[in-house]
Structure 1
Amino acid sequence: MTLPRKGARRIVVGGTAYRWRLRRRPTYSQGLAWSPCTFAVEHADAPGTTLVVSTAQPHPSNWIGREARPVLPSDVAQAIELALRAGWSPTSPGRPYHLDRSVGFTPSFSS
């Protein structure tokens, strides 16, 4: 799975270029703040395994007005460094590598 080039941002971490992308529109579950915001990262020059990161906040464009801060490049760089230390190999082919950083996320539920 490779990221579409349109909408992907470039970031350099440890001298290596990556591309990352946050869905512009939330999924249904993210729109209702039932699931956390996620973003995807791949190696810029030799995409292999995609890194999928779950954050501890709702999607910034959620439909119920839950406050959320934007995903910053510093957040992405930190997630890349953590995933690399945990064994993510961005140039090797394979299934997406999931990094769960959603500790502390509380889903919204209607009563």
Structure 2
Amino acid sequence: MTLATKGTRRIVVDGAEYRWRVSRRHWCCDYEGATLGYAVQDARHPATTLVVDTGRPTARTPAAVPAQVVMPREVAAGIRRARANGWTPRTAGPPFRLRLSAL
């Protein structure tokens, strides 16, 4: 699965460039679509997608008032955590899933 360039944002973490976007698709987070998530790929050599479930409610859930957002610093922290847990973004494979607990 490759992220389309349109709608993604660029982020540089520890000297490596990535593309990321908030995802509302069922493959990203829980099956009901009630939690906020994002997907990340290496910008130059996309091979394995990092799929992060933040555990926080989306704007579609009543508990999300005001609407939740994903900040770049959160994405950078998620990338670092995934790399520490074995995500290798330039190695082909299935999506690497990282589930974070709600704050």
* TM-score of the superposed pair, with normalisation by structure 2: 0.84
**Which sections of structure 2, spanning at least 5 residues, go unmatched?**
none
Cα drift, residue 38 of structure 1: 1.1
Cα pair distance change 1:97/1:26, threshold 3 Å: closer
Distance between the aligned counterparts of 1:26 and 1:98, measured in 2?
A: 14
Q: How many residues align?
A: 98
Distance between the aligned counterparts of 2:56 and 2:73, measured in 1?
A: 15
Does structure 1 conserve the Cα–Cα contact (< 8 Å) formed by 2:54 and 2:102? Answer: no
Deviation string, structure 1 residues 34-71 (Cα, Å, up to 9, x no partner): xx111100000000110000002112x31546224310
Query: What is the one-letter code of the residue matched to 1:85?
Result: A
Distance between the aligned counterparts of 2:97 and 2:25, measured in 1?
A: 18
1:29 to 21, 24, 32: 32
Q: Indicate the structure with greater strand content.
A: 2
Does structure 2 conserve the Cα–Cα contact (< 8 Å) formed by 1:55 and 1:100? Answer: yes
Taking only aligned residues, the RMSD between alpha carbons, in angstroms, comes to 2.0
Q: Where does residue 9 of structure 2 map in the other structure?
A: 9
Does structure 2 conserve the Cα–Cα contact (< 8 Å) formed by 1:42 and 1:90? Answer: yes
Distance between the aligned counterparts of 2:78 and 2:63, measured in 1?
A: 26
Does structure 1 conserve the Cα–Cα contact (< 8 Å) formed by 2:11 and 2:72? Answer: yes
Distance between the aligned counterparts of 1:26 and 1:87, measured in 2?
A: 24
Q: Where does residue 108 of structure 1 map in the other structure?
A: none
Deviating beyond 4 angstroms after TM superposition, the runs of 4 or more aligned structure 1 residues are 25-28
Larger Rg: 1
Q: Write the mapping of 1:65-80 to structure 2, written as runs, cut at 5 A.
A: 66-67=64-65, 68-80=67-79
Q: Where does residue 96 of structure 1 map in the other structure?
A: 95
**Which sections of structure 1, spanning at least 5 residues, go unmatched?**
106-111
